[in-house]
Copies of this chain bind each other. A is one copy, B any other.
Amino acid sequence: MRKLLKQGWRPILVLILLFIIWELSVIVFEIQKWLLPAPSEIFKIGVAEWPNYYGHVLATSKLIIIGFIIGSSIGIIVAVALHLVKFLRLSMYPLIILSQNIPIIILAPLLVVWFGFGMFPKILVITLVCFFPIAISLLGGFQQTDRDLMHYMKMAGANKKQIFWKLEWPSALPYLFSGLKISATYSVMGAVISEWLGASKGLGVYMTLASSSFRPDRVFVAIFIIVAISLLFFLFIMWLEKVVIRWHSSEKRDSNETS
């Protein structure tokens, strides 16, 4: 915790610096409020209208969490399935890539046609966004398993399941976390986008409305909130990584102690 605080001042400083530059350039270049509001103004609005945001934040957060959990689970399952079942690996790749290339805008009406306006199609959108980086990262990780350890496992008579759980899975964990970090970030965006599928609450809804009524200040408040949520989420994944990968297989973690 103390460490977090100790390391946290830098990003905060950078952000503050950025805000100052932004504020100054708004003043210096006389940028009009409707084009790009000053951070001070955004902050003011944010504080003043916080009760308005509360419900939206809650709705979106719920989407994010459910979506991310489902999405990353599916990403992991897909990677594992593709890794373990050669037939799947050889035949499913195109479908996975396909899933990333159907524009949501186009998919949206179809999703609504198939699943209505409920929670489901939204979760589906976040899932689609989330699962891909995890699946690709993890698959890459599985292919980098250490050969000596693999030899040992096979010699010792380990079956596929044991090889997987005792060797491939732990050794691919760093890759998994790379994927999780990417997905965690995207899940927030995915949730916002998914609200285009029709929602009555949520930051995505709020943002479109604010944008169409020429209130960029409100849009930016929403963006700030979104970024904050993402950051928190990202930090959570980083913390999780530290907790899970404790074995110091790499130089980096070690060098904290000695140098």
Contacts and interface: CB of A to CB of B under 8 A. Distances in A.
Contacts of A177: 140
A13 interface: yes
Contact of A178 (B11, B136, B231): B136
A241 to B, nearest CB: 9
Contact of A193 (B103, B204, B231): B103
B137 A182 contact: yes
A72 interface: no
Contacts of A141: 178
Contacts of A15: 94-95
A151 to B, nearest CB: 7
Given A106-B223, A146-B250, A252-B145, A101 B35 contact: no
Contacts of A140: 174-175, 177-178, 181
For the complex formed by this chain, how many copies does it contain in all? 2
B175 A11 contact: no
B102 A223 contact: yes
A127 interface: no
Contacts of A162: none
Nearest to A208: B105
Nearest to A87: B10
24 contacts: A10-B90, A11-B92, A11-B95, A15-B94, A94-B231, A97-B231, A98-B227, A98-B230, A98-B231, A100-B230, A101-B230, A103-B193, A105-B208, A137-B137, A137-B178, A139-B178, A140-B174, A140-B175, A143-B253, A145-B252, A146-B249, A147-B249, A147-B250, A175-B178
